[in-house]
Amino acid sequence: GENVEQHPSTLSVQEGDSAVIKCTYSDSASNYFPWYKQELGKRPQLIIDIRSNVGEKKDQRIAVTLNKTAKHFSLHITETQPEDSAVYFCAASQLIFGQGTELSVKP
């Protein structure tokens, strides 16, 4: 079955810096890769997603890149703000989630 590995598990950056979170997946048939943000005590919320026929997608300060050959995809957050602090999850094939990255943005 599908397996997703996510790194790093924790990430601390200064406000205004960029943050990058990386995921690898095992099933080459996977074709949908969403990213979720989960604040403490709240539900996961979709922030961006990418399909396998696209290499990169951007939405304001957030971008996702996909390398199908290497079976990895990454989340890039530029100009980080304190409100970006949360746990971020990647997923493959909609249903299989990574272990999460706790992002802390220090003012």
Partner 1 sequence: DAGVTQSPTHLIKTRGQQVTLRCSPISGHKSVSWYQQVLGQGPQFIFQYYEKEERGRGNFPDRFSARQFPNYSSELNVNALLLGDSALYLCASSFREETQYFGPGTRLLVL
Residues that bind partner 1 (CB under 8 A): 1, 6, 32, 34, 36, 42-46, 49, 89, 94-100
Q: Which is nearer to partner 1, 28 or 45 (CB)?
A: 45
CB of 81 to partner 1, least distance (A): 23
Distance in Å, CB of 32 to partner 1, minimum: 6
Q: Pairing state of beta strands 10-14 and 101-106?
A: parallel
Q: Which is nearer to partner 1, 36 or 105 (CB)?
A: 36
Task: Specify the DSSP element, H or E, that contains 28.
Answer: none
User: Rounded to an integer, what distance in angstroms lies between the CA atom of residue 88 and that of residue 57?
Assistant: 17
Shortest spacing between CB 26 and partner 1, in angstroms = 15
Q: Of 80 and 88, which has the nearer Cβ to partner 1?
A: 88
For the chain, strand residue ranges (E) read 4-7, 10-14, 19-25, 32-38, 45-51, 56-59, 62-67, 72-77, 86-92, 96-97, 101-106
